[in-house]
Amino acid sequence: MVGPALAVNGLTKAYDGRPILQGVSFSVAVGTATALIGANGSGKSTLLKCLIRLVEPDSGAIAMLGRDVCALAPPDLRAFRSGVGMVWQRHNLVPRLSVLTNVVQGVQARRTGPRGWFQSIAPAAVRAEAMACLDRVGLADRPLARVDSLSGGQQQRVAIARMLMQRPRFILADEPDASLDPQSGEDVMRLLLDLVRQEGLTLVVISHRLEHTLGYSDRILGLSQGRISLDTATRQADAASLRHFFDHEGSTP
Ligand SMILES: Nc1ncnc2c1ncn2[C@@H]1O[C@H](COP(=O)(O)OP(=O)(O)O)[C@@H](O)[C@H]1O
Ligand SMILES: [Mg+2]
């Protein structure tokens, strides 16, 4: 039996007494791409961070990759997080270092044993894996370029290659296309969907562009008033009914 990759039940989160998530429930099947949409300030980023407890939920249950996330003690939480790749709007690569060095450093995120463990492995194996990850994102020809010499879209692809060094089973992406030009943004969305289709990874991606939501997901979840108010297969989605999820929400009641 294979359960869902993610099941969220009754998740709540308030900041300083102001409710943001007010009972969020949904589940995500293995090997699918889910777009999370919602107006500015509706709590999309908060929800994504709660899933791996970068933000601590107030209540509710999260089962992800077979773990009861809210019950994990720190060492287990670290191990669990290593299986979840994050992609942010702004990558945190080291700009003056090479592409390959940045990607090699991604191996740290999956190192959960004693510190010395990795030093004993031939660095060549890590470098070869980093090159394979670069090839996966279409940048195998630029390993020695400094990150700050690349375009924004290339830099985001380096960040994805570095994340792949974690060998993640699940990817959470928070507006990975937001600071890119339209073509590069689309390339990044397609790359993430390819990882779902070709590698069987599971993706939840926050999307702020209607076209990307429709073009690069299997399923759409809409967040409003602290709850999932829309849950639809993408192929059955009606663009007009999605539009209000892309407007500004204003103040949360
Ligand atoms: N760390 C925080 N402390 C207090 N308020 C926060 C914090 N993070 C986000 N918020 C507020 O919570 C609401 C939801 O934010 P966020 O999850 O970033 O929304 P979205 O990603 O949908 O734009 C916003 O009103 C935001 O200002
Ligand atoms: Mg956000």
Q: What is the pLDDT along the chain (253 residues), one digit of tens a residue?
A: 468 999 999 999 999 999 999 999 999 999 999 999 999 999 999 999 999 999 999 999 999 999 999 999 998 999 999 999 999 998 889 999 999 999 988 888 776 554 433 444 547 888 899 999 999 999 999 999 999 999 999 999 999 999 999 999 999 999 999 989 999 999 999 999 999 999 999 999 999 999 999 999 999 999 999 999 999 999 999 999 899 899 765 444 3
Report how far residue 76's alpha carbon sits from residue 99's, in angstroms, rounded to the nearest whole number.
Answer: 30
Rg of the chain in Å (alpha carbons): 18
Atom index in ligand 1 nearest the CA of residue 174 equals 21
Is the CB of residue 184 below 6 angstroms from any atom belonging to ligand 1? no
Q: Per the structure block, which two tokens stand in for 64? A: 């992800």
Torsion-angle region of 23 (φ positive above 0: left; ψ -120 to 50: alpha; else: beta)? left
* Nearest residue to 221 (alpha-carbon basis) of 22, 21, 24: 24
- Nearest C-alpha to atom 10 of ligand 1 is from which residue? 15
Is the CB of residue 168 below 6 angstroms from any atom belonging to ligand 1? no
Q: At what angle do helices 123-136 and 152-164 cross, to 10 degrees?
A: 130
Is the CB of residue 15 below 6 angstroms from any atom belonging to ligand 1? yes
Please, what's the largest Cα pairwise distance for the chain? Answer: 56
Ligand 1 centroid from CA 137, angstroms = 31
Q: Per the structure block, which two tokens stand in for 226? A: 């602290």
* Nearest residue to 152 (alpha-carbon basis) of 129, 179, 171: 179
pTM reported for the whole predicted model: 0.93
CB 104 within 8 A of CB 130: yes
| DSSP per position, 134-162 | HHHTT-TT-TTSBGGGS-HHHHHHHHHHH
The pLDDT assigned to 248 comes to 63
Is the CB of residue 41 below 6 angstroms from any atom belonging to ligand 1? yes
The pLDDT assigned to 141 comes to 96
CB 86 within 8 A of CB 164: no
The pLDDT assigned to 202 comes to 98
Is the CB of residue 40 below 6 angstroms from any atom belonging to ligand 1? yes
Ligand 1 centroid from CA 58, angstroms = 15
The pLDDT assigned to 249 comes to 56
Atom index in ligand 1 nearest the CA of residue 42 equals 22
Instruction: Name the amino acid, one letter, at 108.
Output: Q
Report how far residue 73's alpha carbon sits from residue 110's, in angstroms, rounded to the nearest whole number.
Answer: 17
Atom index in ligand 1 nearest the CA of residue 43 equals 17
Bridge-based pairing of strands 33-37 and 170-174 is unpaired
b/e sequence 83-109, b meaning 16+ C-beta within 10 Å: bbbbbbbebebeeeebbbbbbbbbbeb
> Nearest ligand, CA of residue 42?
1
> Nearest ligand, CA of residue 175?
2
If one looks up domain 1-83+169-253 in CATH, what number appears?
3.40.50.300
The pLDDT assigned to 112 comes to 56
> What residues does each domain of the chain span?
1-83+169-253, 92-168
DSSP annotation of 214 reads H
- Nearest C-alpha to atom 25 of ligand 1 is from which residue? 41
Ligand 2 centroid from CA 44, angstroms = 5
Instruction: Name the amino acid, one letter, at 109.
Output: A
